[in-house]
Amino acid sequence: MTRHKTRAMLGTGALLVTGALALTACGSGFDDGGGAGGGDDSELTSSDEALTVLIGSSGDAETDAVTEAVAAWSEESGIEATVQVANDLPQQLSQGFAAGSPPDLFYLATEALAGYAGNGSLKAYGDLLSNKDDFFPTLVQNFTYEDEFYCAPKDFSTLQLIINTSLWEAAGLTDDDIPTTWDELADVAATLTTDGVTGLAFGPEYQRVGAFMAQAGGQLISDDGTEAVANSPENVEALTYVKEQMEAGSFAYSSDLGAGWGGEAFGKQLSAMTIEGNWIQGAMTNDFPDVQYQVVELPEGPAGKGTMQFTNCWGMAADSPNQQAALELVEYLTSAEQQLAFSEAFGPMPSVQSAAEQWTADNPELAAFIAGADYAKGVPTNDGISAVISDFNAQLEGLKTGDPQQILDTVQENAEAIVG
Amino acid sequence: MTATVAAPPRAGGPGRGIRRGEALAGWVFTLPVILILGIFLLAPVLMALWVSFSDWTGRGSPLSANVNFVGLENYAAITVDGGLPTRDFGTSLRNNAWYVLLVVPIQTALSLFLAVLVNRAILRGRGFFRTAFYFPSVTSSVAITVLWLFLFSATGVVNEVLSWLGINGPNWFQDPTGIVHNGLRAVGVTSGPAALTENDFLGISWWDWMAGPSVAMTAFILMAVFTTSGTFMLLFIAALQNLSAEVHEAAMVDGANAWQRFWRVTLPQLRPTLFTVLTLGLIGCWQVFDQIYTGTQGGPSKTTLTPAYLSYSSAFLDQDWGRGAAIAFILFAIIVIFTIFQRWVLRDRPVSKRRARQYQPSQPKEARR
C-alpha cells in the first residue's frame, strides 16, 4: 500500500511540477510589454524592422490594390512591408495582441475600436498625421475614443436609396416621383409592390433601419458617447413607420424574401428598391449586370435628411516596433491620390475631403453616396456596443409583429449598462 | 509479463539488486506523455481557469503583473447580474438544452435502429448501406452546414418538396419562432400564464424557456442527427456483433418473439455501448460550435446561439476574455454533471423484486392445484 501511495504522490507531484513548468514557460514566451503604448504616449517607436499589414479583403480586387500600393510605398521608402489577408480578422487580431506580436497595421472596424483601445492594444496616432485636417469630421468622430483620435479612416460608405429603373418605369413612375419625404416613399413603395415584387427591401438590422432613425432625428447613443438615447420618441416614430409599411406589405426584410442581403433581393428583382451602400455597385456589376438602377438620396424624415455611414481605419499596434514607418505608410495610403486609386479598383469612397470633388466627377451616378457624408450618423463606438447592437438586431427581426417602444426600451436598458 | 507478477517483494528498499532503476525507467517511458499532456492540456486548462477569475483583456500574457484577480465577477456577470450578458447566456443555455434534448435521444434511437437493420444477415448489400449511412459522418461539418444552408433556404429543395405535399415551408434559417410556441399558437395559445411570463431564470422568462428550439435550430437538429447517426451506428454494429448467439438462441427456445428478444435480451446487453453513445452524444451536443460559426452566427434573433459560440464571441469579438473563459467552465461543469447523472441512471443494478418475480415460474399456485 505504502508503495502505491508513494507512487501516486510522486505521480501527482511530477504532474504539478510539469504543469507549473509549462505555465512559466508559456509566461515567459509572451511579450509582457503591457504598460507601453496606448493613448498617452505620443512617442513613436522606430526601427528598421519590416512592416506587416493585415487586411480583411472583400476580394481579389481589393487584395491586389492594397498589395500594389504597399509595394509601391516599400520601394519608395526602402522599408519592407508585406500584406496578409485575414480569413477572420477579429480573431487573428486578438491572437496577435494576446501573443504580443500583432501586425503593425490592420483594418479596424468602428465597433472593435473601444475594446482594443481600452486594453491598450492600439497606438493613438491620429494627431500625428500630417493630413489629419483633411478627413471628414464625422469620420474622425468615429475613431475618437476618450477624446483621442486613434486611427486614420481608410475610406467610408454611406447608405442611400437604390431604385430599379425598369420596374420604376413599368409602374408608371417618373423622375418627379423620386421620394423626398417618408409619405412619398410609402406611396411609391406601395405603387411598386406587385405580385412577387416588394416595394422596398433591406436587411433586418440596425445598420439599415438606423437610417430611418437618423431621419427622425434619433440615435442610439448621444454624439459625445455619454448618454443612451435609444428609446427616444424619435426612434419610436422611425420604427413605427417601418413597422406600418411592413404590415402594409410595401416594405420587407430581405431575409423574408429569401435573400441574404438587400442587394441580393434587389438584384433578383424581388424588390424594386433597396437601401444599401456604395458596395452595391460592385455586386450589381458582378452578379446582376442586367438590372438597371439609379442611386438617389434617401428621403427626408421628420428631422430632415439622415443616413448611416460605415468606415474602417488603419489601426496601428501599440506593440509595433516600427510605428514611425507605419505612420508614413498610413499617410501614403490615405492620400487623396491613393484613395482615388483604391476607389477605382474596388469601390469605396475616399475618407479625405480633398478627394471628394474628383470622386464625384469620376462617379456622377454615385454622387448621392458622397452627399450623405454631410449628414450621416456613424455606428456608436462605446466599449460593449457590438453586443448591444447584435441584441437590437435580433429584436429588429421581429419588428413586424413586435412593439417598437418595447424593443427600444430593451435597447435603452442594454445601452445604459455600457455607457455608465 | 509473468516475471512482473511473480516478482518477489523488494528486500532492502530501492536501489539494489536486479530491479534497480526500474522506477526511473518507468518515469522515463511515461515522461513524453506527461510532458505532452501537461503542456498541451493541463497548462492551457489551468491558464483558462485563471483567466476566468481575472480581468485579463486579451493583451500580453494573462500571467503578467498588471492582470488582476477579480474573484467571481466574471461568473456573476453571466449568471446573477441580470444584464445583457446574463440574458445572452440564458438564451444560449435554453437553445442548447433543447438541442441536446432532441438530438441525443433521436440520434441514439436512429443509430441503434440502423445498426440492427444493417446487422441482419439476410439483408442484401449490407456493405453498401453501412457505407451510405456512415458517409455523412466522414464529411466535414462545414461542408454539410453549407449544404444545409442551401437545402433549407426559403426557395430551397426542402421547401420545394414540402410544396408538393401542399405544405408552405418556413423560411428555415431566418425563422426565430420556437416550435413549441408555434404548436401552442396553432391551438390558440399565444401568450403564457402570468406565472410563467413574469418569473424568469437567467434573464429569460419561463415561458421563453419553454419556446422550444426555433425553426432555425430545428434545421440544425436535423443536421446533427443526419451527420452523427452513422458514427454511432458503427459503435452499435460492433457491439451487436460481439453478442453471443447462444443467449439469443436460448431466448428463442424459451419462446420470446423478436420484439421481446430485442428489448429484454439484446438491449440490456448493449448497455455499455449505450452509455458510450449517450455520453459522446451529450458532450458533442453541448459543445456544438462549427455549425453555428459557419451557418448562422447565433441568428436569427439569437435562437441558435450556443454557450460554445457565445464563449468564442465574448472573448474574440467583444474582448471579454474572462467572461468567455467563465462560460467555458460552466459548460464544462454542465457536461460533467450530465455525464455523472447518466452513469448513475445506467448503472448496473441488482434485479428488483418486481422484475425478479417475472422470471419466477409461478409454481406454488400450480403445485396447489
- The string of pLDDT tens digits covering residues B6-44 is 455 554 555 567 777 888 999 999 999 999 999 999 999
| Interface touch A94/B42, C-beta < 8 Å | no
**Closest-CA distance of chain B to residue A96, Å:** 9
Q: Tell me how long chain B is.
A: 369
| Interface touch A120/B59, C-beta < 8 Å | yes
Task: Label residue A272 by pLDDT band (50, 70, 90).
Answer: very high
Q: Which chain A residues are within 8 Å of B154, Cβ to Cβ?
A: 257-258
Number of domains in chain A: 2
| Interface touch B84/A118, C-beta < 8 Å | no
Check residues B328 and A36 and name the one with the higher pLDDT.
B328
Does the pLDDT at position B107 exceed 60? Answer: yes
Residues of B numbered 128-157 whose beta carbons fall under 8 angstroms of chain A's beta carbons: which are they? 153-155
The span from the CA of A260 to the CA of A203, in Å, is: 8
φ, ψ at A238 (rounded to 5°):
-65, -50
Of B169, B306, B42, the residue nearest A19 (C-alpha): B42
Nearest CA in chain B to A25: B39
| Interface touch B42/A119, C-beta < 8 Å | no
pLDDT of residue B204: 84
The span from the CA of A201 to the CA of A266, in Å, is: 7
pLDDT of residue A90: 86
pLDDT of residue B359: 67
| Interface touch B319/A118, C-beta < 8 Å | yes
The answer to whether residues A334 and A413 belong to one domain is no
Q: Are strands A198-202 and A251-253 parallel, antiparallel or unpaired?
A: parallel
Place of cell 408608371: A172
The span from the CA of A6 to the CA of B208, in Å, is: 54
pLDDT of residue B336: 92
φ, ψ at A193 (rounded to 5°):
-75, 120
Nearest CA in chain B to A395: B301
The answer to whether residues A177 and A318 belong to one domain is no
B45 C-beta neighbours (distance < 10 Å), count: 14
Give pLDDT tens digits for A179-236: 999 999 999 999 999 988 999 999 999 999 999 999 999 999 988 788 899 999 999 9
How much is the average pLDDT of B59-65?
Answer: 82
SS3 content of chain B, % helix, strand, coil (to 5): 70, 0, 30
pLDDT of residue A222: 87
Give a yes or no: residue B9 inside a domain: no
Give a yes or no: residue B235 inside a domain: yes
Burial category of B4 from C-beta neighbours within 10 Å (exposed 0-12, middle 13-18, buried 19 and up): exposed
How much is the average pLDDT of A302-317?
Answer: 92
The span from the CA of B4 to the CA of B9, in Å, is: 11
pLDDT of residue B199: 81
For chain A, say whether B28 makes contact (Cβ under 8 Å): no
The span from the CA of B206 to the CA of A293, in Å, is: 49
Give a yes or no: residue A6 inside a domain: no
pLDDT of residue A27: 42
How much is the average pLDDT of B153-158?
Answer: 84
Residue A357 · residue A367 · CB < 8 Å = no
pLDDT of residue B302: 87
Give pLDDT tens digits for A322-365: 899 999 999 999 999 999 998 888 878 899 988 888 888 888 88
Give a yes or no: residue B319 inside a domain: yes
Q: How many CA atoms lie within 13 A of B28 on its CB side?
A: 5
A395 closest CB neighbour out of B27, B59, B301: B301
pLDDT of residue A211: 94
Domain span at B267 = 77-137+216-347
Number of domains in chain B: 1
Does the pLDDT at position B2 exceed 50? Answer: no
Give pLDDT tens digits for A38-61: 444 467 888 888 899 999 887 788
pLDDT of residue A244: 93
The answer to whether residues A202 and A277 belong to one domain is yes
Mean pLDDT of chain B: 85
The answer to whether residues A192 and A61 belong to one domain is no
Domain span at A343 = 51-157+310-378
pLDDT of residue A29: 40
Q: What is the CATH number of the domain that holds A267?
A: 3.40.190.10
The answer to whether residues A259 and A181 belong to one domain is yes
**Closest-CA distance of chain A to residue B254, Å:** 49
Highest-confidence segment of A198-207, B134-143, B296-305: A198-207
Share of chain B above pLDDT 70, in %: 92
Residue A243 · residue B138 · CB < 8 Å = no
For chain A, say whether B168 makes contact (Cβ under 8 Å): no
pLDDT of residue B222: 93
Mean pLDDT of chain A: 85
Q: What is the CATH number of the domain that holds B332?
A: 1.10.3720.10
Mutate to test the interface with A, among B28, B45, B59 (most CBs of A within 10 A): B59
For chain A, say whether B81 makes contact (Cβ under 8 Å): no
Give pLDDT tens digits for B228-261: 998 899 999 999 988 888 888 898 898 888 888 8
Give a yes or no: residue A16 inside a domain: no
A35 closest CB neighbour out of B39, B42, B66: B66
The answer to whether residues A286 and A401 belong to one domain is yes
**Closest-CA distance of chain A to residue B249, Å:** 46
Share of chain A above pLDDT 70, in %: 90
pLDDT of residue A38: 42
Residue B42: helix, strand or coil by DSSP?
Answer: helix
The answer to whether residues A274 and A341 belong to one domain is no
Give a yes or no: residue B358 inside a domain: no
The answer to whether residues A277 and A355 belong to one domain is no
Residue B201: helix, strand or coil by DSSP?
Answer: strand
A414 closest CB neighbour out of B46, B84, B299: B84
The answer to whether residues A147 and A267 belong to one domain is no
Give a yes or no: residue A31 inside a domain: no
The span from the CA of A386 to the CA of B23, in Å, is: 57
Give pLDDT tens digits for A95-117: 888 888 899 999 998 888 888 88
Residue A168 · residue A192 · CB < 8 Å = yes
Give a yes or no: residue A319 inside a domain: yes
Of B316, B227, B304, B118, the residue nearest A90 (C-alpha): B316
The answer to whether residues A79 and A117 belong to one domain is yes
The answer to whether residues A328 and A397 belong to one domain is no
Give pLDDT tens digits for B168-222: 888 888 888 888 988 888 888 877 788 888 888 888 888 888 888 999 999 999 9
Residue B205: helix, strand or coil by DSSP?
Answer: strand
Q: Which chain A residues are within 8 Å of B39, Cβ to Cβ?
A: 18, 22, 25
The answer to whether residues A122 and A135 belong to one domain is yes
The DSSP bridge partners found for residue A164 are A293
Give a yes or no: residue B34 inside a domain: no
Give a yes or no: residue B270 inside a domain: yes
Tell me the three-class secondary structure of chain A, residue by residue. CHHHHHHHHHHHHHHHHHHHHHHHHHHHHCCCCCCCCECCCCCCCCCCCCEEEEECCCCHHHHHHHHHHHHHHHHHHCCCEEEEECCCHHHHHHHHHHHCCCCCEEEEEHHHHHHHHHCCCEECCHHHCCCHHHECHHHHHHCEECCEECCEEEEEEECEEEEEHHHHHHCCCCHHHCCCEHHHHHHHHHHHCECCEEEEEECCCHHHHHHHHHHCCCCCECCCCCCECCCCHHHHHHHHHHHHHHHHCCEEEHHHHCCCCHHHHHHCCCEEEEEECCCHHHHHHHHCCCCCEEEECCCEECCECCEEEEEEEEEEECCCCCHHHHHHHHHHHCCHHHHHHHHHHHCCECCEHHHHHHHHHHCHHHHHHHHHHHCEEECCCCCCHHHHHHHHHHHHCCCCCCCHHHHHHHHHHHHHHHHC
Does the pLDDT at position B369 exceed 70? Answer: no
A23 closest CB neighbour out of B27, B47, B174: B47
Give a yes or no: residue B247 inside a domain: yes
| Interface touch A257/B154, C-beta < 8 Å | yes
Give a yes or no: residue A30 inside a domain: no
**Closest-CA distance of chain A to residue B307, Å:** 15
